[in-house]
Structure 1
Amino acid sequence: MERDGGPAAERVLILTPIKDAIRHLDTYFGLLDRLTYPRDRLSLGLLESDSDDGTFEALLQRRGQLNRPFRRFTLHKRDFGFRMPANQPRWANHLQVQRRSTLAKSRNHLLFRALEDEEWVLWLDVDVIDYPPDIIERLLATGKRIVHPNCVRDYGGSSFDLNAWRKRGKLHLHDLRKEGDLVPLDSVGGTMLLVRADLHRDGLIFPPFPYGLRNKKIRRFNHWSGEIETEGFGIMASDMGAQCWGMPNLEIRHHRD
C-alpha cells in the first residue's frame, strides 16, 4: 500500500546486510511492498557479502524495479573473506567472535555508505518472514530512539533473537511480556531494530571487537572482554546515554534455520 507522506512523515532508511540469501529475497521484498509507511519517505540500502549462491546477481536483476517504489535505493558489495566451516552451525561458540565481528563490519560498511539525510535507520534482516505492514509506524509511535519488536519463530513462543536482553543476559523479551508493551533493555538484537539516525552520526556503531569493559551491564562471562556486534551496540548506546527499548508483545517472525 502506497501513501503520500507529506512534510510530516520523517525519512526512514531500511538497511539490510545480505549473504547467501537468494531463497529469502521474494519474501523479503514482498514484505517491504506491504509496508504502509509513506513510500516517498522510505529509502532502502543493501550490502551483499561473500555469497556463493548468486545473491548479488539476483539483486542486480531487481535493481531497476527497486529504484521506483523507494525514495532512494542503493546496492553495495563488500566481501570480508569469512565463511562458516562446513557442518558448523552459525551459533557454534568457537566461531562467534569471528562471525559476529564480520557481521558488525558489514553493518558498519553499509551504514557509512548508505545513510544520507534520513532521520531514522531501520535495520532489517533478510530472513525475517513476517511482520505487520504498519510496523514502522508502531515503532516510531513509541517515541524512543532505539527500539525493536520481539522476533520469534512462532507467534506467542520464545524469542528467537536472544541478543536482546536485560540483567546481564538473564531476561529476554519473552520473559518480559507481562511487564508491558515497552520495556527497557541493556542489549539489542538486529533482526529488526529502529535507531535514531543522529545516534549513528554521533558515533554509535556495531563494535566489531569486544566492547564495554567498564560498563557494569555486560554479561559476567564476558567480564574479561566485553560485548560484540548488536550486544556491543547496546552497551555503547548505554555509554552514550541512550536507553534501548524492546516491545515484547509486538512480534515478528524469523525463518526457521
Structure 2
Amino acid sequence: MARSMGAVRLKKTNPITLALGAALCIFILYFLIGSSGSGFSAARQAAAASHPLSPPTSPFRKSTGKAKYKAPPVAHYNLNNVTITSNPLEARENILLLTPMARFYQGYWDNLLKLSYPHELITLGFILPKTKEGNMATTELQRQIAKTQKSGPEKDRFKSIIILRQDFEPPIQSQDEAERHKMQNQKKRRAAMAKARNSLLFTTLGPATSWVLWLDADVIETPPTLIQDLASHDKPVIAPNCFQRFYNEEKKAMDERPYDFNNWQDSEAAQDLAKKMGPDDILLEGYRELPTYRALMAYMHKPDGLRAETVPLDGVGGAALLVKADVHRDGAMFPPFSFYHLIETEGFAKMAKRLGWQPFGLPNYKVYHYNE
C-alpha cells in the first residue's frame, strides 16, 4: 500500500541572510585565490621560478593545484654574464644577504626593511640552531617574514627568503654575551659558527648572485645605503667598523664604543706567537693571554675622518661584511679548523688573501651592534 507524501513547505529566507551568505562566499573565493599568489606586480610574478628545484635564490610561488610537478628543466648558466660592479644599483645586480641567527632582534629586521637597495634584488638567507632560543627566534622570524612578504608594501618584499636549521648541536647553549666571549669557549664556538656559515653559503649561493652581504642578527643599525656604499669601493672583501651605542654613566649621556675587534692588520708579535703554537691551536684577538699587538680597525676610527677611507686588512669580522660572489665561488670559505692558526671569519680573510683577494676595511664607516 503506497504511502502518500504530504507537500513540503519551504520557509522563506530572509534577504539579509542571503546577502550575508553571498558576501561570505565572495570573501572565501578571494582569500583562496588571493592567498595563492604572491601579491607582487605582474613583472615580479613573471620572474618567479616555475619549479621548486630552481636555483635557491630565485623567487618561487607554490602551485595551488594538486598536480605533480614535471621534471625540472635543464638550465644553462653562463657565469661570465654575471656582473659585479661598483654600481650594483645601476646594473641591477642580485644581492644575497646571509645571517646566522640564534636570537631574533626586532631592530635587525626593522633595519633590513630600511635598506634602500631594491628589495626585489635581495635574497635573504638564515640559519638557526635547534635550541629553545633558536626555536623562538625561528617562530618570530617567520612571523615577520609573513607580515612583510604577504601584507607589506611591495617595495618592502624581498626576492626570496630561505630558512635553514642547523643539523649539529651548538657547542654552548647560552647566547649571553659574557658566555659567548669566554676564551675557553672560543674555538668550539667559532668552529660551529664557521660550519653554520658554510652550510648557509653553499646552500643559497645562486648562479645569478653578484654580491654576498654577511650581516649578523644583532646588528641593528646601518646606513640605508649600506649595500651601495660598500660596493662602491669595488673591493673583493670589505668590512665597515662595528660600534655599539651605550649609556655613559660618567658623561650621563648616550655614547658609543668599538665592538668588533676581528678587523685587524697583522703584527710581528702575532706571527711570533703563531710560530710557537701547535698545528691545531688558534690565535684569538682581544684576550690578555694572547697579546697580539695587531693594529685593530676598531681604533682606527677618526671622528673627523673620511667615511670613504679604506685600509687593507689581514683579518675580518662577520658583523657586516660585503663579499664579491666570485670570492666564495673561488673557494674562500670559513674554516672550522685552524687555518694558519686562524678560524672562521679571520680564517676566511686569510684564505681569501691566499687566493689573491685582498680584504679591506672602512674605519670611519660605522654600523651598530645591539647592546645587551
- From 186, 196, 204, the counterpart of 1:106: 196
Whether the 8 Å contact between 1:151 and 1:251 is mirrored in structure 2 is yes
Written as runs of structure 1 = structure 2, the 5 A alignment for 1:199-218 is 199-212=327-340
- 1:195 counterpart SS class: strand
- 2:212 counterpart SS class: strand
- 1:161 counterpart SS class: coil
Q: Tell me what 1:171 maps to.
A: 295
Structure 2: unaligned runs, 5 residues or longer? 1-43, 45-87, 151-156, 247-254, 268-291
CA distance in structure 1 between the partners assigned to 2:128 and 2:362 by the alignment: 29
Q: Tell me what 2:169 maps to.
A: 81
Q: Tell me what 1:218 maps to.
A: none
Whether the 8 Å contact between 1:50 and 1:83 is mirrored in structure 2 is no
Deviations 1:46-84, CA, capped at 9 Å, x for gaps? 111133131122223334345461112111111421242
CA RMSD of aligned residues (A): 2.3
Note the C-alpha offset of 1:152. Answer: 0.7
Note the C-alpha offset of 1:38. Answer: 1.4
- 1:154 counterpart SS class: strand
Written as runs of structure 1 = structure 2, the 5 A alignment for 1:156-235 is 157-168=256-267, 170-177=294-301, 181-212=309-340, 226-235=341-350
CA distance in structure 2 between the partners assigned to 1:173 and 1:100 by the alignment: 20
Deviates more, 1:245-254 or 1:173-182: 173-182
Letter in 1 for 2:241: N
The answer to which structure, 1 or 2, has the higher relative contact order (CA under 8 A, 6+ apart) is 1
- 1:250 counterpart SS class: strand
- 1:119 counterpart SS class: strand
What is the aligned-residue identity percentage?
A: 35
Structure 1: unaligned runs, 5 residues or longer? 213-225
Written as runs of structure 1 = structure 2, the 5 A alignment for 1:24-173 is 24=105, 26-53=106-133, 54-67=136-149, 69-84=157-172, 89-116=179-206, 117-154=208-245, 157-168=256-267, 170-173=294-297
- 2:127 counterpart SS class: strand
**CA 105–41 in structure 1, closer or farther in 2 if over 3 Å, else same:** same
Whether the 8 Å contact between 2:259 and 2:298 is mirrored in structure 1 is no
Letter in 1 for 2:220: I
CA distance in structure 1 between the partners assigned to 2:143 and 2:257 by the alignment: 37
Deviations 1:126-167, CA, capped at 9 Å, x for gaps? 101211111111001111110010001139854311111102
Note the C-alpha offset of 1:115. Answer: 1.2
Deviates more, 1:98-107 or 1:170-179: 170-179
Deviations 1:95-122, CA, capped at 9 Å, x for gaps? 1110000000000000011111210000
**CA 210–6 in structure 1, closer or farther in 2 if over 3 Å, else same:** closer
Whether the 8 Å contact between 1:159 and 1:172 is mirrored in structure 2 is no
What is the TM-score with the length of structure 1 in the denominator? 0.85
CA distance in structure 1 between the partners assigned to 2:354 and 2:299 by the alignment: 25
Deviations 1:187-219, CA, capped at 9 Å, x for gaps? 00000000001111111000000102xxxxxxx
What is the TM-score with the length of structure 2 in the denominator? 0.60
Whether the 8 Å contact between 1:157 and 1:174 is mirrored in structure 2 is no
Q: Tell me what 2:367 maps to.
A: 252
- 1:177 counterpart SS class: coil
Deviations 1:31-58, CA, capped at 9 Å, x for gaps? 0110111122111111111331311222
CA distance in structure 2 between the partners assigned to 1:112 and 1:175 by the alignment: 34
Letter in 1 for 2:158: F
Bigger Rg over Cα: 2
- Structure 2 residue 365 is matched with structure 1 residue 241: no
Whether the 8 Å contact between 1:176 and 1:183 is mirrored in structure 2 is no
Note the C-alpha offset of 1:6. Answer: 7.5
Letter in 2 for 1:70: F
Q: Tell me what 2:52 maps to.
A: none
- From 95, 98, 103, the counterpart of 1:15: 98
Letter in 2 for 1:160: Y
Letter in 2 for 1:194: L
CA distance in structure 2 between the partners assigned to 1:85 and 1:92 by the alignment: 13
Letter in 1 for 2:324: R
Note the C-alpha offset of 1:176. Answer: 2.4
